[in-house]
Structure 1
Amino acid sequence: MKFLLVALAISMSISILSWSNVVTFADKDNDGVTDFFDNCIDNPNIDQTDFDSDSLGDECDSDDDNDGFSDEVDAFDNESSEWSDIDFDSIGDNKDDDDDNDGILDSLDFFDTDPTEWADFDFDGIGSTKDDDDDNDGILDIVDNDPTLSSEDLAIKYLQNIKDCAKMDDGSSRLLCYSNFFGVLAENEENNSDALELSIALSKLGAIDDCHFVSHEVGHVAFNKKPNVAENLIGMDGTMCRGGYFHGVLSAYFHDEQEKNKSLPSDYKVICNGLIGSSNYQDCVHGLGHGLVHYFGEDLGSSLEKCHDMSFYQNRLCMKGVMMQYTDNVLTRQGITSDAVSNLCNESKLDNVDFVECSMSIGTTLAFFTNHDLEEGSKSCKLIEDQQSQNYCLEGLRLEIQDSEKYEIKPLTEDIREKFQPQFIEGTSKIIDIQSPAVISDFQFIPKVNMISFSIDRPQYVVMYIPSEFVTSKMVVTVNGQIPRDLSAKNNVLGEDIAMIRFVPNDAGLVMITPLS
């Protein structure tokens, strides 16, 4: 028994000694928390705060919020989403919508870390305040009689209106605000080109997603001020905002005709003829499609029928305008829902070409509705139940975003833009459509032998759409007597009785297309 008591005592002693090795009552920093439990042994921190839960207390953690920025440089070391406050207004830069506190929201401010600058209207990388040649014309502002661009003058004049639109969080509301603003601007100012220049500048600054939409409104107002299509279009540059101004003018014209209960103008097919030979002609015919929807409203069939009565390529341009305006109208009214996008293009009521174009136009419209965001636009396309229509929608979305980005980087100038130059066959209602950046002249068609000839002013690609009755099964194409490179041909284009010939000449000169004898 005595032996058992001694053994028990020894065991308890060992346990006590063992426990004392685990639990220490030392408190190195004298903060009332023993070292064993203290998450900062050397730094007093009685509350044991550990914001990022990394077992290292904030008092001794060099990165309290675990955001990768040391507390020495982190102005918000208890907020992982923030670390800097460049304007010292106690709002982190990620949440601050005016980082440099200059009164210009970051969404509008091209220099959002420099309170002395906000815009660069000649896009030379120097803000307008520091730029000594604001219009980049090579003449210093100090001796320049007109030192600033019209876009800068208008931006300063209407800065408050622009700032009001920039405040809007929702992309669609912001775009609508800018559209209304440009309507007011066009109403107040005489020069429509100046308004378009400002829309381009705001687009490049990132304030507007794309100036094409707002330029529609400039065109609407221009026609209402001066109700003559030709006078509003001649002399304007269709490359500005990818023809949106032209679409707006034509839309306003046909809307006005419908409001007055007038019949569709019998000359609608030739309303753009004054622009033949320029790239603006394409923008005008495309705008005609927009206008037809303004005239016929929800009657898509009637709008398409009027396009189909035109020549092959005129029809294609017109139909694209119809589909863009139609899809925009419906989605604006109904919203982007699975039911709305799935029922926009009824395959049973449209021929195959129209169905494809309608589905692609949904994608085009969705690009504007989602600020040209491919991911967001794709989500909306995928609401379409029909897989084929969904795929076309995604393709239309991709092409619109690609075209918009290409324009922002390097706008297409008149000399490199494709020109649609229809050639009217005397004695018939038929047209041979020709597309090319080159200028076509001296066109001739000799019906007895089905021979076509014309001149081109430079070696640029040429695409021709010819009614099949004017070609034989085998034709010879020559430029200055030589067969051109990249020559290709196709019959029954898109199922229509149309032949297509495409070639790239080596030089400017005489083109001859003759039957093979």
Structure 2
Amino acid sequence: MISRFFIIPVIIAIGLSVTVLFMNFEEIAETKLAGVDADKDKISDRVDNCPKIKNEDQDDFDQDAVGNPCDPDDDNDGIVDVLDVFDDNPEEWSDFDFDGIGSKEDPDDDNDGVIDSMDEAPVPVSEELVATYLENIQECAKMNDGTSRLLCYSKFFGKVAEDQENNSNALELSIALSKIGLIDDCHFVSHEVGHVAFKENPSVIENLIGMDGTMCRGGYFHGVLAAYFHDVQEDGDPFPSDYNTVCNDLIGTSNYQDCVHGLGHGMVHYFEEDLESSLQMCQDMSFYQDVLCTGGVMMQYTDNVLTRQGISKNVISNLCLQSELDIVDFVECNVSTGITLAFFTDHDFEEGSKLCELIENKQGQNYCLEGLRFEIQDSEKFKAEPLTLDKREKYQPQFVEGGSKVIDIQSPAIISNFQFEPKARLISFVIDRPQYVAMYIPNEFLSSKMIVAVNGQIPDELEVKGNVLGERVSMIRFVPDDSGLVMISPLS
């Protein structure tokens, strides 16, 4: 093999004679490399088994000359470390009941109290699906770019939803992968499951009834509603005049608010970049419905723009212009930008903050950081202790004056026997347990001074605010000591 030489000679003068030496290219490169330490771990890159990531102890579990921090499969068992719960044990990799015992050693794989040898269905559905789609999952996991990886998983979960008869199976898989840390949050990918569900059965309510809205924080619901409005738009049909009743079969359940929030996602699919039209449809609903709906609009809008146009200083600074939005929508838009950026950065606050700081408007920047922080905290809370249906807040709007006006009520408790006497301005209802109650009441239904009593007693924890968010709506929030009769009446 012919060695290459530098064309520039090294000249050494000795007395009056001059000696010209030529240095071998590979020798010079090796000499330079010997002094390079890119990851600053005090080990030369020439001998470092992981030159770009610190590995001071040169740990290499499988002895393949690739240090553990740089090795995507530490134990060489064919399962990438991000999926492998036991990445230093080639005999185990899965633990889908999350009890710390690998599936091969675990006598009760699904933790249902029945040992596997006597269990008719011993393996969790999430474990079965991972085994079925292992190659697809690992293909997405190996992607370095967060946005590309998220889109890969979205497409993958669409395929799972198509293959599975029960949409809950796809959601169970997304929750499991979220707990492992393979996907940073299952909310976004569950949108795709909802899209596919509606495509296969184009009925909003049939797809939502019986589903648990706590799974992936309502993402499936948002996907179903988005697909519904997308189809209406694709068919060239006018915007549905009964859009505000689409979710009515879910009134009184915690899933109702997920459905109303999903309406906002769907409106953006219908009106596309016409943000004003989407917001107007939300504003034509009751106060709290508007709040939920607007949140959905802004989440879908910010996601659409950042996905299509990319994240740059120009794009993100013009996403939520204060000159074009009222103060409430300006705040919500920037908060939603932060929420969207959380998904684009694997819920990494430091990385998301850098993107929020691209926003030129300082107020917008702060609201973006607020949304980013909220989304990360909410995601972590969900992973640690998901809300069950019995603990989750239920949105229970009460329609008065023939349905033209609404008193919005939120509470984990069940509201029954609601009565409103317009002339006496008297509101009464029964709660089935002592849980907080939050109400948004049009000011025209209230006197200037009201008294709130539960079983004749004024609650110790009582808060009243007038003209919430600048609207002619008052908020009353209280925490009762017991279940029973609630009465809100003018103070005589």
TM-score above 0.5: yes
Counterpart amino acid of 1:246?
F
Q: How does 1:293-442 map to 2 (within 5 A)?
A: 293-442=268-417
Aligned to 1:258: 233
SS in 2 for 1:113: coil
Aligned to 2:158: 183
**Aligned-pair CA distance for 1:81:** 3.2
User: 1:408, 1:383 → 2: CA distance?
Assistant: 30
User: 2:405, 2:302 → 1: CA distance?
Assistant: 31
**Aligned-pair CA distance for 1:480:** 0.7
Aligned to 2:485: 510
Counterpart amino acid of 1:469?
E
Q: Does 1:474 align with 2:449?
A: yes
SS in 1 for 2:417: strand
Counterpart amino acid of 1:423?
Q
SS in 2 for 1:487: strand
Aligned to 1:119: 94
Q: Does 1:81 align with 2:45?
A: no
Counterpart amino acid of 1:466?
I
Contact 2:50 2:66 in 1 (8 A): no
User: 1:473, 1:164 → 2: CA distance?
Assistant: 63
Counterpart amino acid of 1:310?
M
**Aligned-pair CA distance for 1:428:** 4.7
Deviations 1:284-323 (A, max 9, x none): 0000000000000000000000000000000000000000
**Aligned-pair CA distance for 1:51:** 6.7
For structure 2, list consecutive stretches of 5 or more residues without a partner in the other structure.
Answer: 1-30
SS in 1 for 2:69: coil
User: 1:266, 1:50 → 2: CA distance?
Assistant: 70
Aligned to 1:493: 468
Aligned to 1:159: 134
Q: How does 1:221-240 map to 2 (within 5 A)?
A: 221-240=196-215
Contact 2:50 2:69 in 1 (8 A): no
Contact 1:458 1:507 in 2 (8 A): yes
User: 1:302, 1:385 → 2: CA distance?
Assistant: 26
Contact 1:119 1:205 in 2 (8 A): no
User: 1:266, 1:360 → 2: CA distance?
Assistant: 29
Counterpart amino acid of 1:186?
A
Q: How does 1:80-229 map to 2 (within 5 A)?
A: 81-82=55-56, 83-229=58-204
Contact 1:76 1:84 in 2 (8 A): no
Match of 2:419 among 441, 444, 452: 444
Aligned to 1:24: none
**Aligned-pair CA distance for 1:75:** 8.1
CA separation of 1:49 and 1:170: change in aligned 2, threshold 3 A? closer
Deviations 1:410-454 (A, max 9, x none): 111111111111000043500000011111111110111010000
Aligned to 1:249: 224
CA separation of 1:381 and 1:268: change in aligned 2, threshold 3 A? same
Contact 2:331 2:367 in 1 (8 A): yes
Larger CA deviation: 318-327 vs 428-437: 428-437
User: 1:50, 1:300 → 2: CA distance?
Assistant: 55
**Aligned-pair CA distance for 1:128:** 1.2
Aligned to 2:11: none
For structure 1, list consecutive stretches of 5 or more residues without a partner in the other structure.
Answer: 1-47, 54-64
User: 2:438, 2:295 → 1: CA distance?
Assistant: 19
SS in 2 for 1:403: helix
Contact 1:246 1:283 in 2 (8 A): yes
| TM-score of the pair, normalised by structure 2 | 0.90
CA separation of 1:49 and 1:298: change in aligned 2, threshold 3 A? closer
User: 2:239, 2:487 → 1: CA distance?
Assistant: 39
User: 1:347, 1:397 → 2: CA distance?
Assistant: 19
Contact 2:110 2:123 in 1 (8 A): yes
SS in 2 for 1:350: coil
Identity of aligned residues (%): 68
| TM-score of the pair, normalised by structure 1 | 0.85
SS in 1 for 2:68: coil
User: 2:34, 2:480 → 1: CA distance?
Assistant: 71
Larger CA deviation: 167-176 vs 195-204: 167-176
Contact 2:398 2:418 in 1 (8 A): yes
**Aligned-pair CA distance for 1:327:** 0.4
User: 1:412, 1:431 → 2: CA distance?
Assistant: 27
Deviations 1:181-216 (A, max 9, x none): 110110111000011000000011111111001100
Counterpart amino acid of 1:155?
V
Moved segments of 4+, more than 2 Å = 48-53, 74-77, 79-82
Contact 2:73 2:87 in 1 (8 A): yes
Counterpart amino acid of 2:235?
K
**Aligned-pair CA distance for 1:49:** 13
What is the number of equivalent residue pairs in this alignment?
A: 458
**Aligned-pair CA distance for 1:80:** 6.5
